[in-house]
Structure 1
Amino acid sequence: MNDEYSEDDLNTMTVAQLREFAADRGITLKSNGSKDEVIATILAAGDDEPEPMSDAEQEMRAAKAAPGERVEIMVHAGGGPEGQDPVKVGLNGKMFLINRDQWVKVPKGVLGILDNAKQTVMEEAGTDADGAIKYRERTVRRYTFQTR
């Protein structure tokens, strides 16, 4: 039994609260389970602590909670051969194709995905004693964008 909650604590919650409680802890429930089944599943999960959610997972959960909430964004063109191509973003099983340098409205979760998209670039860091060029890695945003 987990020190954080007891069976008595769980019995005071509604089914909706229990489902949210389980989701926060990464516990998978049957979609049509009764309150007793939900409680049993939570208790059976015991002391298994889920991994903390990443920022992207938190954004996706927020997007599911408020799917109608939209933001207006513009993804800027980038350098290189793919810098003019539309940006493909998947959110909750739906794909979004975002044209660059145009204002578009997208679900708020798409913003979180773009914000968390990173890439590693190599940049010159001077030369060593033999005159060979030294490089260092730097993590940068994959896409530059703005909101309004």
Structure 2
Amino acid sequence: MSEINVSLMGRAELEQTAADLGIEFRKNISDAKLADRVREALGIPASPEIVDGPDMTTPADTGEKHYYITIATDSKDKQPVQVGVNGRMWVIQRGAKVKVPASVVGVLENAVQTPMDPQTMEKMNIQAYPFQVHGEA
């Protein structure tokens, strides 16, 4: 198949594509869930959500503070950063301002690399994914 943009498909196209791929679904499934199943069957990763539109939280995220962050871009690694907390995954695009729960910020703070300083042979702690916190959401 040529490049497919599942996000632009209407309900009829989603249903037809799902049927073509042999995906079973109930008629009352939401468009978003059906699109996710089609993406999964096609091997298309979920697109990261960018702030100033959707945020990366769900209604299940209750009682936890949220922050706007930006993960630094990297000339060597252009892939989005995947962060997992208690079985939930966030895929965060580098350079995009996104809203995430405090637990995701904590994981990013604790993600460090410890290379040796070639001069002193001492361990250095360097953030694996440098990021900036823009403030509480």
TM-score normalised over the length of structure 2: 0.47
Q: Which has the higher contact order (CA 8 A, sep 6+)?
A: 2
Greater helix content: 1
Greater strand content: 1
If you compute each CA radius of gyration, which structure gives the higher value, 1 or 2?
Answer: 1
